[in-house]
Amino acid sequence: MESHGEPIKPLLRQPITWTPPKEGITLLEFFGGIGTRLEALLQSGMVVRRYFYVDIDPIARQVVASRMKEFTTRFPQQFTTTAWKASFTFLPFDIQLIQKKHMELLGLVDLIISGWECQGFSAAGFGKGSSDTRSGLFTDMI
């Protein structure tokens, strides 16, 4: 894989050992879609103290907003309503609009998870790879 013509090298070559804080993590999700990655973390037993969501798609935001209530009901000890009260208002929905000041205001983020627009790499897309404006957002996420 290349980024702007240069090969991408792995950042780490050793396993990461990490113990989440007992009071729960601060989780930031880019390209959040309908919340399936959040759901998987909750199913694994993770406690989420604060959750922030970024996705430009208004339909995905609408779906995940209703799922927050479902997750609170299904995982009441792991995901309270206070965990997601600022999920949809704290950060811009467009990842390209997120600035350093936004990240500084978030404070410590324990875990960042993300999907990203993969149409440029998909057989169903136009085959433009990372030059597809949607798939190229991967570098904005990094």
Q: pLDDT tens digits, residue range 93-104? A: 988 898 999 999
Place of tokens 């609009």: 97
Single pTM value for the model:
0.75
List pLDDT tens digits, range 6-43. Answer: 777 767 677 778 899 999 999 999 988 899 999 999 99
What residues make up the domain containing 53? 23-141
CATH of residue 126's domain is 3.40.50.150
Separation in Å, CA 105 to CA 91, 102, 111, 127: 10, 5, 16, 38
Q: How many domains does the chain have?
A: 1
* More confident call, 92 vs 134: 92
CB atoms near residue 56 (< 10 Å)? 16
Whether 9 is covered by a domain: the verdict is no
